[in-house]
C-alpha cells in the first residue's frame, strides 16, 4: 500500500496540491439510515432532561493507530452515533438548554466538526464537514471543531453542571514511568480552572435509559444485523468440515456478513473447537479441527452501528456424541427457561436465575457435579446483557422494559482436568439468541437459526 501521511507531507513540502482544483462530492451511500428527525428527537429528550444551568458534551471516538502510519478502520463512538449519526472523527456535540450564542443567533445544540480538507480526501476519502452535517444530519448548526475551546470558555462560567459521555480513551499508559495519564482527571482539571464549583456527571444517565429501550429505527437496524448474522452462521455450519482450521470457519462466517452489507463484526469473532470452546472469549481461531470436535461460534454482524450477538455450538462431523448431545440439550433447556423468563417487568437477572437453576439440576443428574452450588464451576458467566449499538449496550439494570433487546446465553464449559468423568472433558456449549421484550412476551429475533439437536445436525455439512 502507499504511505498516505508521508506522501501528504512530502507533497505539501514541495508546494504541490494533491487534489488540484477539484472538490470531491459528499455522498451518503446507504439510504436506510435513520432520518434526521429521529436524531433530533433524541437530542431533544436529552435537552429536556437537563437544567438550564447545565451543558452536555458528547465526544467522538479516537482514531486508533494500528502500526506506524496505519490506523485501524474507524468506528464512531456509540453515543455520537445515537445522537447524531455522524461518522466523522474529531467531532464533538455540545448541548445547552439555555443556549449557545454564535454571532447573532442562539442555539441549544452545536456540532463541532473538522473542516473538510480536500488534499487529504485524495488519500483518505471524502469526509463530512460543517455544511454537510447541517444538510444530512439536521443539527441546528455545525461549525469547525477548532471553535470548541473558545465556546466552552465563554459557557463554563455561567453553568454549574457539566454532563459528558464516556471518554473515548480513559487512560494512557506511560512506558517506564509506571503510571497512567487519565483523561477524566485532565478534563476535570481543565474545567475547574474555569469554574471551580462546577459539578461533573458521567456517564449520562438519560442516555443509558434511552438506549436501553429501542425506538422503531433501532429495532429495524437490529433486525437487519441479526438477519445478516443468521445467514453467516448458516453458511458456516453448512460449509464446516473436519480438518478445517478455525480461521477457515471464521472466514465463512465473516464472508457471509460482508456479502450482505455488514460494515464490520460487532465484536471479534469467537470460533473455538474442542478445548478452545471452553475458553469464554477465545479469539485466536488458529487450531486445526478434528473429526469429533464441537465448534462454538459466537459471532455477530454490525450493520449501521447495530450489532447482533448469536452463538451456536455444532458438531463438526454433523453428529453429536452421546455426551455432547446431553450437555447440548441441557443448555438448550436452560436457554428456553431463560427466554420464558424474559418478560416485561421481570428483574433483569430473572433469565439468569431461571437458566442457572436448570443447569444446576441437570449437571447434578448427569453426575458432573455433586452439589448444586458447584454449578459456577461450569457456568461462570451471566445469562443476559443489553444489545444495540454496543454488543454490551448500556442500560439501567432495572426491570425488563418493552422494546428492550437482551441476549439469553447460558453455557456449560468442562475443560480437561475437571473433577468429573473424563468422558465430559473438553465439551464447551453455549447457545445464544437475541430477545425482544414485548407486551405479549419475549420474541426471539434470531429464532430462524437452527437450535434443536436435529436441526443443527441437519444443517451441518449440508453445503454441496
By annotation, the residues acting in catalysis are: 69, 281, 298, 309, 381, 385, 392, 409, 413, 430, 432
Of 181, 168, 204, 174, which is closest to residue 74 (Cα–Cα)? 168
Q: Cell numbers 419475549 label which residue?
A: 442
- Cis status, amide bond into 274, omega within 30 of 0: no
Q: How many residues does the chain have?
A: 464
3-state secondary structure at position 226: helix
Helix axes 205-212, 36-48, angle to 10 degrees: 140
- DSSP-derived letter for residue 231 is H
Could you tell me the three cell numbers for 426?
473438553
List phi, psi (to 5°) of 162. -120, 110
Buried b (16+ CB within 10 A) or exposed e, 425-434: bbbbbbbbbb
Are the C-beta atoms of residues 112 and 92 closer than 8 Å to each other? yes
C-alpha distance from residue 56 to each of 47, 50, 95, 200 (Å): 9, 8, 5, 10
The H-assigned helical ranges of 88-201 are 118-124, 130-137, 148-155, 183-194
Q: Three-state secondary structure along 360-405?
A: HHHHHHHCCCCCHHHHHHHCCCCCCCECCCCCCCCCCCCCCCCCCE
Phi, psi at 18, each rounded to 5° = -75, -30
CB count, 10 Å around CB of 271? 31
Cα 133 to chain centroid, rounded:
24
**End-to-end Cα, the chain, rounded Å:** 37
Percent composition of the chain: helix, strand, coil (DSSP 3-state, to 5): 40, 20, 40
**C-alpha cell recorded at residue 418:** 475437571
Cell of 160: 454549574
User: What is the distance between the alpha carbons of residues 384 and 405, in angstroms, rounded to a whole number?
Assistant: 10
Amino acid at each position: 500500500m502507499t504511505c498516505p501521511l508521508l506522501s501528504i507531507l512530502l507533497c505539501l513540502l514541495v508546494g504541490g496540491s494533491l487534489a488540484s482544483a477539484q472538490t470531491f462530492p459528499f455522498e451518503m451511500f446507504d439510504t436506510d439510515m435513520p432520518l434526521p428527525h429521529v436524531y433530533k428527537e433524541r437530542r431533544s429528550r436529552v435537552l429536556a432532561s437537563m437544567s438550564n444551568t447545565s451543558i452536555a458534551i458528547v465526544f467522538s471516538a479516537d482514531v486508533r493507530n494500528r502500526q506506524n502510519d496505519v490506523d485501524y478502520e474507524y468506528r464512531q463512538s456509540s453515543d455520537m452515533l445515537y445522537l447524531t449519526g455522524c461518522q466523522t472523527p474529531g467531532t464533538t456535540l455540545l448541548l445547552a438548554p439555555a443556549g449557545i450564542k454564535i454571532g447573532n443567533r442562539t442555539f441549544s445544540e452545536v456540532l463541532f466538526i473538522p473542516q473538510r480538507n480536500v488534499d487529504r480526501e485524495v488519500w483518505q476519502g471524502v469526509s463530512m464537514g460543517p455544511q454537510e452535517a447541517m444538510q444530512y444530519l439536521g443539527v441546528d448548526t455545525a461549525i469547525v471543531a477548532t471553535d470548541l475551546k473558545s465556546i466552552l470558555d465563554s459557557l463554563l462560567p455561567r453553568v454549574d453542571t457539566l454532563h459528558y459521555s464516556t471518554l473515548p480513551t480513559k487512560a494512557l499508559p506511560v512506558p517506564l514511568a509506571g503510571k497512567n495519564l487519565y483523561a477524566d482527571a485532565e478534563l476535570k482539571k481543565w474545567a475547574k480552572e474555569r469554574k471551580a464549583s462546577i459539578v461533573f456527571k458521567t456517564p449520562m444517565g438519560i442516555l443509558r435509559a434511552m438506549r436501553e429501550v429501542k425506538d422503531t429505527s433501532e429495532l429495524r437496524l437490529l433486525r437487519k444485523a441479526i438477519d445478516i448474522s443468521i445467514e453467516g452462521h448458516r453458511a458456516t455450519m453448512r460449509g464446516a468440515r473436519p480438518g478445517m482450521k478455525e480461521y477457515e470457519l471464521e472466514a465463512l462466517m465473516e464472508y457471509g456478513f460482508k456479502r450482505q452489507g455488514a460494515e464490520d463484526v460487532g465484536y471479534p469473532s469467537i470460533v473455538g473447537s474442542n478445548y478452545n470452546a471452553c475458553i469464554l472469549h477465545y479469539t485466536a481461531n488458529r487450531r486445526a479441527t478434528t473429526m469429533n470436535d464441537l465448534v462454538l461460534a459466537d459471532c455477530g454482524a454490525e450493520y449501521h452501528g447495530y450489532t447482533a450477538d448469536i452463538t451456536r455450538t455444532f458438531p463438526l462431523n454433523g453428529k453429536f456424541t452421546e455426551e455432547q448431545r446431553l450437555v447440548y440439550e441441557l443448555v438448550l433447556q436452560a436457554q428456553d427457561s431463560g427466554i420464558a423468563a424474559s418478560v416485561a417487568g421481570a428483574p433483569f437477572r430473572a433469565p439468569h436465575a431461571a437458566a442457572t437453576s436448570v443447569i444446576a439440576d441437570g449437571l447434578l443428574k448427569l453426575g458432573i457435579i455433586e452439589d448444586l452450588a458447584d454449578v459456577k464451576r461450569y457456568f461462570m458467566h451471566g445469562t443476559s446483557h443489553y444489545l444495540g449499538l454496543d454488543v454490551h449496550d448500556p442500560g439501567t439494570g432495572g426491570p425488563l422494559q418493552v422494546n428492550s433487546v437482551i441476549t439469553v446465553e447460558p453455557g456449560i464449559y468442562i475443560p480437561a482436568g475437571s473433577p468429573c468423568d473424563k468422558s465430559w472433558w473438553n465439551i464447551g456449549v453455549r447457545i445464544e439468541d437475541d430477545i425482544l421484550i414485548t407486551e405479549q412476551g419475549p420474541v426471539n429475533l434470531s429464532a430462524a437459526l437452527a437450535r434443536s439437536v436435529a436441526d443443527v445436525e441437519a444443517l451441518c455439512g449440508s453445503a454441496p
